Amino acid sequence: MRRVILICFVAILSSNLNAQITDSIFWDGKQRTYKFFLPTSYTGTQKIPMIISLHPSFSNADNHMNAAKWQLIGDTANFISVYPNGTSNQPSSTNFSWNAYNLSTGSSADDVGFLNALIDSMITNYAVDTCRIYISGFSNGAWISWRIVTGK
């Protein structure tokens, strides 16, 4: 019985891992990275919703992806989950922040422009329902989400 459960667990994990895609956009003089998940039922023929989930300061897309887990819900609810990385002023750091407000935490990047370019790229390359694009974030990620939505 344990062997059957283990095999099922590995099969579920591997199906989710196969859907993960890492990509990047050259924006404002920097290569900006992100990860996203297409639901296993994705065919590209029907437009589906997309959620962009933004990490807090001093974190990254991988850490946030493992905490937020939108990809697990997206796989059953049929939506694309996107996890972009902010930037850091320290060249080799993997702890990123978003330029979300005047007293930003270490980033002077044009993150609003980057996120808009990311949305445009996803719309161009995948069947995204442009009436159902959502953005969420935690802490500094929530602040940049607010900035994107309000235009402030």
Q: What is the pLDDT of residue 9?
A: 46
Q: Residue holding tokens 């005047």?
A: 102
List all residues 6 or more positions away from 109 whose beta carbon is below 8 Å from its beta carbon: 28, 30, 86, 87, 99
Q: Provide the pLDDT confidence category of residue 78 given band limits of 50, 70 and 90.
A: very high
Burial of 12-26, coded b for 16+ CB within 10 Å and e otherwise, reads: eeeebeebeeeeebe
Mean pLDDT of the chain: 87
Percent of the chain with pLDDT over 70: 84
Give the torsion through C-alpha atoms of 32, 104, 36, 77, to 10 deg. Answer: -160
Across 117-122, average pLDDT: 98
pTM: 0.84
Orientation angle between helical segments 140-150 and 111-125, nearest 10 degrees: 70
